Structure 1
Amino acid sequence: MNALISPPPAVLLPAKVHRYAVYYAPAAGSPHAELGARWLGRDAWQPGRLLAPVTLGGLGDETRAALCRSARRYGLHATLKPPFEMAEGCSFEELDAALYALAGRHAPFVLPVQAARLHNFLAWRPVASAGTDPDKRLMDLASDCVQSLDPFRRSPSVAELQRRRSAGLSSEQEALLQRWGYPFVMEAFRFHLTLSDALAAEQLAAVEAALQQACAPLQGQPLHIDALSLFVEAEPGADMVGVARYALAAERS
């Protein structure tokens, strides 16, 4: 029996899908899911949901929208298998079965996180002093997603490769791009739930302070890493939407 956790009724798999992605996303209704949706101004699981105007950390909706345009399109998530076009000869049914099997190999766990900078943007990131060494569990889960789902990935176009290279890649990142189609996987993977676009240096401190103020009610509440989430992009440039969750089902060791 497939362990697929049904998405909200309003979200259906589109008749045509341009790209798929496998993310971690907090469960609907959880504190992180609610605050993340309100901060970004969009619930990726319920695209038609109207979020009441709200000020968070002293920032109103319009100000936050200007800081999160790209992050809003992708929805609240942490990337595990970066967006990919389906390879020739593969089907959603096969991907569904692979995700069910993958989720069954990993046990759920909790992960303390904090709002912090990552390069020039803001995100929820693991708390370095968590004390339980979540890194190995995260790395194992992310690496399994990248490797076991790779047969479903169509090789990126030359234009896509050039777009990735335009940011400037190290030799190690270039090797990862060529092998896996994305430069920030495997040993270059850094778990994070994006909460802003790239910000100018003079913006970072003020927006970080506002985000941390907004996140104060979540102090001490960890993320529950309990499922893989499948997101889809119906056509190039469309908003990514969540369509299915696969429960992590292995017994804890």
Structure 2
Amino acid sequence: MFERYAIFYTPPPGPFADFCASWLGWDNKAGRKCVHPQIADLDVAKLTLAPRKYGIHGTLKAPFRLAKGTMQSQLEQATAQLAGTIPAFRLDGLSLKHHRGFLALRPRGNATTLNAVAQHIVEALDDFRAPAPPAELARRRQANLSERQEENLTTWGYPYVSDDFHFHLTLSGRIDPGLGADVTDALAPHLLPLVPRPFPIGQITLMGEDSDGMFHEIHRYDLAG
């Protein structure tokens, strides 16, 4: 049914999720385009073009093609079973930062549990991942990967896992530092009052990428507890 699959954190329905969908221009739960908010002096459509296809999300297991001999229904069942073994947890909160060249919400405080959960998901569902095609590997390697990241790419199909994993909810494409500071200042009063604090992680979401490259929620799975 879909070209690729992924495991994301996506916020549950509510004002935070609604604003983020509008900001990015894509509601990955409803599978529809959204009207951008009007924020003075910001070209929101241009700023959010690159991450739009994903909708609001935090990657836990990066997009992958299904391995030969596996089916979506099997992936759904495995994800449901896995979610039931992971206790729900909380982050201290999320901070809005321009870092690594783009704007994102990033964890406040200790993220040890989050990082461990993400790596567990990467490993537990890896039998469903087909090897990445050579063109995708070549594209990843253009980022000047470290030796460890190259090993991650070879082993898991994605360089930014384990010690190189940095959870974030992407809010822009690449923007220069000066503009990043201006966008942060303009966006913060609209977004930050909607961000829960502490920030609960009580579900994971199985996502599918359609033939147009847009990501859709397939199912949300409650974590244990």
TM-score normalised per structure 2: 0.93
Q: Is the 8 A contact 2:8 2:59 kept in 1?
A: yes
Q: Percent identity?
A: 37
Distance 2:34 2:178 in 1: 32
Cα deviation for residue 216 of structure 1 reads: 3.7
Map 1:1-253 to 2 at 5 A: 16-29=1-14, 31-48=15-32, 50-51=34-35, 54-56=37-39, 58-59=40-41, 63-111=43-91, 112-128=93-109, 133=110, 135-218=111-194, 221-235=197-211, 237-249=212-224, 251=225
**Stretches of structure 1 lacking an aligned partner (at least 5 in a row):** 1-15
Q: Is the 8 A contact 1:32 1:223 kept in 2?
A: no
The 3-state SS of whatever aligns with 2:26 is coil
Distance 1:185 1:59 in 2: 36
Name the structure where strand makes up a greater proportion of residues. Answer: 2
Cα deviation for residue 223 of structure 1 reads: 2.8
RMSD: 1.7
Cα deviation for residue 50 of structure 1 reads: 4.7
Residues 1:45 and 1:225: Cα distance change in structure 2 (over 3 Å): same
Cα deviation for residue 38 of structure 1 reads: 1.7
Distance 1:171 1:221 in 2: 37
Distance 1:35 1:222 in 2: 19
Aligned to 1:4: none
Q: Is the 8 A contact 2:28 2:215 kept in 1?
A: yes
Corresponding residue pairs, total: 224
Summarize deviations over 1:159-187 as a string: whole Å, max 9, x none: 10000011211111111111100000111
Cα deviation for residue 55 of structure 1 reads: 1.9
Distance 2:66 2:115 in 1: 24
Residues 1:49 and 1:207: Cα distance change in structure 2 (over 3 Å): closer
TM-score normalised per structure 1: 0.83
